Amino acid sequence: MLRFEVLQTDPTCEARRGRLTTPHGQVDTPAFMPVGTRGAVKGITPGQLVDTGSQIVLGNTYHLELRPGAELIEQMGGLHRFMGWPGPILTDSGGYQVFSLAELNQIDDEGVSFRSPVDGSQIRLDPETATRIQNQLGADLITCFDQCPPHSCERGDVAAAVERTVRWAERCKAAHRYPDRQWLFGINQGGVHKDLRRACAERLAELDLPGCAIGGLSVGETHDQMVETVEEVCPLLPADRPRYLMGVGMPRDVVAAVVRGVDLFDCVLPTRNGRNGYAFTATGPIRLRNAQYREDADPLEPGCDCITCAHHSRSYLRHLFMTGEMLGPILVSIHNLRFYQRLMARLRDLIEAGCAARIIEAFPIAAATADDGYLEATDA
């Protein structure tokens, strides 16, 4: 029911073209996963997601347990049926919330206690609980509970987070009830410290998990630090298993990671930026609130095949944002999601042709610098 195949590698770099088979369908890799934190990609219907070319979506263990609860979702037939999404789903474990909700949690060696942002009640997540919740949700791919340290913390704290992450992965594997229909991904931590990343990879390899994630990036490090870390970690991961770079989503970051051997990505950027009037295009961002688009009859991106570009002008889209119409964020989010899926499809084609490095010719924004005006890709 679950299988991953590397179909082709690019002779010019480490990029690889693969296929991930799950109980809910296939995913052609490299692939980008839209983020459906609470069982929905904000403002986008499942049918619209399919139309953008999205093959797999991500859900969040912490938020789905908070509301409506894993037991209810299981009672309703599992997360696929509950949210009306027919394709594969990956759930993160809630480990990222250890980082993003630091002011609401307390970490110990056994797990993490959170104060609910909804009613102030205490919520406890540990490896066994996070795994049980993901088993109940029924996602095709699930992740080990881990500790994601902030970029600013001391090396000793990063080393302690690696130790916890490895021990928690052992407990997640022991608690996992459905390994035949849900693949459990281990998560490599270690910040930007190459020796810690290497030690974490070696210890996780002993667990022989079917998938490998790289966590602890997009938390404040520079682009170059991210690239150097991915370049260090990828060769340490089993070549026959999917590699997932968690939460990294700037186009240039995605391309840099693909050419170093990463298969799966997720990020809130397409929809978060879409809701704020920022559109991704192959040649650079469009900020629709700018007055220069008031009388612009062009589509967001000439040549884009999304429904937004097919039917609406930049002038109309700007009007929607300036008047607070909810259709504006929806249409730009749809375009941004389609942009990402076009980017991934083009990468797959170029890998098959043995020339992935040419992606910048088709998507110059893949080489853009950090000051290109995009919003931060952080999500609670």
Domains of the chain, start order: 3-273 (3.20.20.105), 274-367 (no CATH)
What backbone torsions phi and psi does residue 273 show, to the nearest 5 degrees? -65, -35
Mean pLDDT by 10 residues, the chain (380 residues): 96 96 98 98 98 98 95 98 98 87 89 89 93 98 96 95 98 98 98 98 98 95 95 98 96 94 97 96 94 98 97 98 98 98 96 88 75 40
**What is the model's pLDDT at position 369?**
55
**What is the model's pLDDT at position 143?**
98
Alpha carbons 255 and 122: distance in angstroms, whole number: 40
**What is the model's pLDDT at position 377?**
37
Buried b (16+ CB within 10 A) or exposed e, 189-228: bbbbbeebbbbbbebbeeeebbbbbbbbbbbebeeeebbe
Tens of pLDDT, residues 78-137: 999 999 999 999 999 998 887 788 888 899 999 999 888 888 888 899 999 999 999 999
Q: Of 73, 182, 228, 42, which is closest to residue 137 (Cα–Cα)? A: 73
Its pTM stands at 0.95
- What is the rounded end-to-end Cα distance, in angstroms, of the chain? 32
**What is the model's pLDDT at position 105?**
87
Label residue 71 exposed, middle or buried (CB < 10 Å: 0-12, 13-18, 19+). Answer: exposed
**What is the model's pLDDT at position 7?**
98
Q: Are 176 and 135 in contact (CB under 8 A)?
A: yes
**What is the model's pLDDT at position 374?**
42
> In the chain, count of helices (H) and strands (E)?
15, 16
State whether the Cα torsion 136-139-145-150 is positive or negative.
negative
Alpha carbons 25 and 37: distance in angstroms, whole number: 21
Which residues are known catalytic residues? 92, 266
**What is the model's pLDDT at position 205?**
98
